[in-house]
Amino acid sequence: MLPIFNHLIQLQELSLIRTEQKTQRKGERLDELTAAVNELTRMLPPDVQALVTRMQARDPLLIVPVSNNICVGCGMKLPTSVVQTVRQAKHLQPCPVCNRILYISEGAPRRIMKPMKPGETPKSGIARFSDQTLVIPRLKAMDRDGAIAELARKMQSEGFVDDANKLIEAALKREAIVGTAVDHGIAFPHVRGVEGGGLALALGITPKGVRFDQSGHNPTKIIFFAAIPTAASAFYLKLLAGLAETFYDEESRKLLMADESPDKVWKILLKLTKKRIT
């Protein structure tokens, strides 16, 4: 069943990328992505194809990993017998609660969940996903790969993920499918399937810009890099829309790029996104 699992994971990723393109109002590759999604669906065995078609009608997540004996799609602890069946991979095993197909994910980067300190006030807005320590007001990197690597290593050094190298590898594979640069010098590189905690977001700024797309005509200056647990895939689209809407405004971009202090840039980020990201 492993080839079927890999096929379904690829199909799900392309479907989510297509939704991202719609969210960013980037229509130039929608037809290509739709054709790829349809072709991958047609290549499935008839019984799996029928199952996938039913699931796609109600949920963007078809297949989700098991993490610490928990279905990351719905958060429910799974019976030992179900986990053993998933590990054996002899047939498709749905979650008994949410009915998503389960698989074992090995070798993926993991999110490190930091417990709240005693007396700490629950965070709101973008502070729920990011932190002042994940802001780099002046990236040293001179190209896309270097910028992604710098942000991923920042996430690891600040204790948000366990393996920056795995995160970098996955992010570059994602870029190879469809680039994440958008208009106005902004890019949203990301990695899905980083389980173990909530979504994590880092911000890197490079006033001179780096080449994120093949043309290089529109250098990228503001980079939001996200590590996304599978269950937060739908929420990430809302976050993506909020960030895009905020920083499509030229004045907002100028304010974010004006200072070299992580503390000041963080405060500006909180203020600018307060109304759109809750």
Alpha carbon 157 to chain centroid distance? 19
100 contacts 59 by C-beta, under 8 angstroms? yes
Determine which of 65-69, 92-96, 122-126, 168-172 has the lowest per-residue pLDDT on average.
122-126
Question: What CATH number should be reported for the domain holding residue 250?
Answer: 3.40.930.10
Look at residue 119 and tell me if it is in a domain: no
* 132 and 57, same domain (yes or no): no
Look at residue 203 and tell me if it is in a domain: yes
Q: Tell me which DSSP letter residue 91 carries.
A: S
Q: Report helix, strand or coil for 119.
A: coil
Query: What is the model's pLDDT at position 216?
Result: 53
Question: What CATH number should be reported for the domain holding residue 66?
Answer: 1.10.287.1490
Dist. CA 214–CA 218, nearest whole Å:
10
Which tokens sit at 185?
């010098």
* 134 and 246, same domain (yes or no): yes
CA angle 157, 236, 168 (to 5 degrees): 35
Range 144-152 average pLDDT: 97
Range 105-130 average pLDDT: 81
CA angle 56, 101, 61 (to 5 degrees): 40
Q: Is residue 248 scored above 60 in pLDDT?
A: yes
Closest CA to 136 of 225, 6, 246, 69: 225
Query: What is the model's pLDDT at position 183?
Result: 86
Query: What is the model's pLDDT at position 113?
Result: 75
269 contacts 135 by C-beta, under 8 angstroms? yes
Question: Predicted confidence band at 27 (pLDDT cuts at 50, 70, 90)?
Answer: low
Q: Residue 80: give the domain boundaries.
A: 2-104
Dist. CA 274–CA 253, nearest whole Å:
15
Query: What is the model's pLDDT at position 40?
Result: 92
Question: Predicted confidence band at 118 (pLDDT cuts at 50, 70, 90)?
Answer: confident
Closest CA to 161 of 122, 128, 121, 134: 134
Question: Predicted confidence band at 141 (pLDDT cuts at 50, 70, 90)?
Answer: very high
Q: State pLDDT tens for residues 158-216.
A: 999 999 999 999 999 999 988 899 889 999 999 999 998 899 999 999 999 999 876 55
Instruction: At 44, give phi and psi (nearest 5°).
Output: -75, 155
Question: Predicted confidence band at 234 (pLDDT cuts at 50, 70, 90)?
Answer: confident
* 191 and 246, same domain (yes or no): yes
Question: Predicted confidence band at 146 (pLDDT cuts at 50, 70, 90)?
Answer: very high
233 contacts 111 by C-beta, under 8 angstroms? no
Query: What is the model's pLDDT at position 28?
Result: 63
Dist. CA 187–CA 244, nearest whole Å:
9
Which tokens sit at 260?
């070299």
Closest CA to 130 of 242, 245, 251: 242
* 180 and 259, same domain (yes or no): yes
Query: What is the model's pLDDT at position 31?
Result: 86
Q: Is residue 109 scored above 70 in pLDDT?
A: yes
Structural domain ending residue among the three candidates 104, 139, 174: 104
Element (H or E) spanning 226, and its range? Answer: strand 220-228
Query: What is the model's pLDDT at position 70?
Result: 93
Q: Is residue 131 scored above 60 in pLDDT?
A: yes
Q: Is residue 67 scored above 70 in pLDDT?
A: yes
* 142 and 259, same domain (yes or no): yes
Q: What percent of the chain has pLDDT over 70?
A: 95
Q: Is residue 145 scored above 80 in pLDDT?
A: yes
Instruction: At 190, give phi and psi (nearest 5°).
Output: -160, 165
Q: What percent of the chain has pLDDT over 90?
A: 71
Q: Is residue 115 scored above 90 in pLDDT?
A: no
* 9 and 78, same domain (yes or no): yes
Look at residue 114 and tell me if it is in a domain: no
State the first-to-last Cα distance of the chain, in angstroms, to the nearest integer.
41
* 253 and 186, same domain (yes or no): yes
Query: What is the model's pLDDT at position 178?
Result: 87
Q: Is residue 2 scored above 60 in pLDDT?
A: yes
* 82 and 147, same domain (yes or no): no
As for how many domains the chain has, the answer is 2
* 168 and 262, same domain (yes or no): yes
Dist. CA 66–CA 200, nearest whole Å:
20
* 132 and 268, same domain (yes or no): yes
Q: State pLDDT tens for residues 73-97.
A: 999 999 999 999 999 999 999 999 9
- Residues 16, 21, 23, 28: is their CA dihedral positive or negative? negative
